[in-house]
Structure 1
């Protein structure tokens, strides 16, 4: 990539998404009313359960009838680029105890907060399990102080990105960061993992691979679509190793392929 090639501008991306409807159709580029949300969420939950089978709350291929009781600690997740709370409500809250949302678009934050209060995940939420952090994901001048809190916080003092999480989920948002900003964000995320079993999951579109890393710039929302190798180079530079990777199948034709990566400290 030459010095004159376009790169993502985070503020321009935020401005674009602020013009989109604060609903599934808006955050999914017009695919919110078809099969995509269900297929995507089921694929994500299966991927996470493959990695952390103890998150299964019912007897299943992941957790047998004779399985010992799960740990009593509350499992915490961070939903990066949370949008309207779709991944939080459809993927994370059915499996974990508490979710922190990190989202830069004000109308999306408001919708996510409303969804948290009226969640249909089957959990006893009642204003619990949701917390919304400060809006940015790359601004080094801000500490990540909470923009708003809704509900239960399991640990005192966990008010910024240095809080510890069992799962950090990043989906359809990392294209808004330049490579160096993305490396720094993933390094911060790596430090925020609770223990050796904790995970960072990246689920993003990927473009066609060539003999070297490829990025495709989208002028509309000022974002990158990276190739598989481009992502892997970023993960390496951030001190992360891939423990599992998988293509999401069943999505509508004509879209970039979507790939999931599970990451831990190298």
Structure 2
């Protein structure tokens, strides 16, 4: 399995092509709206949950959709990591002027990537954990933990199976259920601070959950 291949919520069938363009746009809007609400919950907190807005890391960043529409509006600086060099090259033009606030473009699989210690306020891992084995995910999360600044958090947003594990025969990725993801998070020595299911998505696609941890 690739360590950092981006993917999006799809119907629980072999192809999402039956969705209309309007439904695709609706899902797209709800997706980013939900992300912003979830992120702001921590950025606006006082006390022990307060997260600084200086530096974020986008894991499995692709061409930078999450970086452009979520992280750059919220953080002063962002690093991007993806296994595909072509995606990172496209990101430089896709991000436009805001791309000047990208600190580093790392070309690496997540099973090998080690964030710089004590660097990030938020490490964002979206629609990519299905391309990591259980052991690779646990070890990656351990390395991410060392990459956090004080009060920093790690966020996972991904498709969740209803029960157990579902294998995708097309790209060999897997979709774990919530209990299994939480167990792997605990194995990495992290505690879940918040857990949220994306609302108003169609029944035909996987449930999508966000987890914040430190």
Q: TM-score range by the shorter chain?
A: 0.7 to 0.9
Is the 2:81–2:105 Cα contact (8 Å) retained in structure 1?
yes
Deviation at 1:52, TM superposition (A): 1.7
Provide TM-score, normalisation by structure 2: 0.83
- The runs of 5 or more residues in structure 2 that have no matched partner are 8-15
Q: Which residue of 2 aligns with 1:243?
A: 193
Tell me the TM-score normalized by structure 1: 0.68
Q: Cα RMSD over matched residues?
A: 2.7
Q: How far does residue 163 in structure 1 lie from its aligned partner after superposition?
A: 5.4
How far did 1:131 drift?
Answer: 2.5
**What is the count of residue pairs matched by the alignment?**
199
Structure 1 residue 127 corresponds to structure 2 residue 127: no
Higher relative contact order, chain-length normalized (CA < 8 Å, sep 6+): 2
Larger Rg belongs to: 1
- Residue 137 of structure 2: aligned partner: 182
Q: Does 1:208 align with 2:162?
A: yes
Alignment of 1:221 onto 2:176? no
CA distance 1:126–1:185, change in 2 (3 Å)? closer
Within 2, Cα distance between the matches of 1:215 and 1:126? 37
The corresponding residue for 2:94 is: 115
List alignment gaps of at least 5 residues for structure 1: 1-8, 21-28, 55-61, 63-70, 119-124, 145-159
Aligned counterpart, 2:148: 193
Q: Which has the higher strand share?
A: 2
Is 1:10 matched up with 2:5?
no
The structure with the greater share of residues assigned to helix is: 2
Question: Paired residue for 2:29?
Answer: 38
Q: How far does residue 112 in structure 1 lie from its aligned partner after superposition?
A: 1.6
Partner residue, 2:10:
none
| 3-state SS of 2:130 partner | helix
